[in-house]
Every structure is written in structure tokens, then in C-alpha cells.
Amino acid sequence: DIVMTQSPLSLPVTPGEPASISCRSSQSLLYSSGYYFLDWYLQKPGQSPQLLIYLVSNRASGVPDRFSGSGSGTEFTLKISRVEAEDVGVYYCMQALQAPRTFGQGTKVEIE
């Protein structure tokens, strides 16, 4: 299985400030057509996960543009340009290149 490793595991943030989460895969997530098969999900407290970003950098429907994704190969990043209080929760990256789909350990984002 492809192993997904996130850092940091805990991220205290200040509202209005930027935040960044890294995700590394144990092998390249490059698909033959030039796409990288990686998603980002956010699990808010007491809720089920919700899709934020797919194919590295595409925001899901309704996701604010303060969220952005980037990366290639085995290194990927989720950035929040200006953190808001509603952004707290656990963020997961997930690879969709190879079965079974696998998730990172999660990064817990909380307000300082």
C-alpha cells in the first residue's frame, strides 16, 4: 500500500494568519495522463469528513478560495491563506492512484 505521511500532526493557528500542511507519499502519485491523484479532506469536530481539494489543486464545490493545494511527485501541500475559526478540525490527505486508497494520519488544526 502507498503510505501517506503528514506534517505537522498538530498545528496551532491564529485567525487571519496563513497555515500550511504537508503530505508526503511513499511513491509518486503521478497518473499516466499527467495528473497527480491526491485529495484533501477536512473533518470538523463532531462531523464526518468533507472533500476540500481533489486532483491536488481543484477545490470541491462550495470550498472557499482561501484553501489551495499544490505539489507533485511525492510532496503535496494544503494552504489556508487566512485561517478562520470555522477551519478547525483534522485535515487528511488521501492518495487515489493505487488501490487501496490510503489516508494520512491527519493534521489537527486548532486556534491558538
Residues that bind other proteins (CB under 8 A): 31-33, 35, 37, 39, 41, 47-51, 54-55, 58, 60-61, 92, 94, 96, 99-106
Cell numbers at 47, concatenated? 462531523
Nearer to other proteins, 67 or 92 (CB): 92
Alpha-carbon distance of 80 to 96, in angstroms, equals: 23
Nearer to other proteins, 18 or 64 (CB): 64
Q: Give the three-state DSSP class for 22.
A: strand
Q: Count the Cβ atoms, other than its own, within 10 Å of residue 58.
A: 11
Nearer to other proteins, 16 or 62 (CB): 62
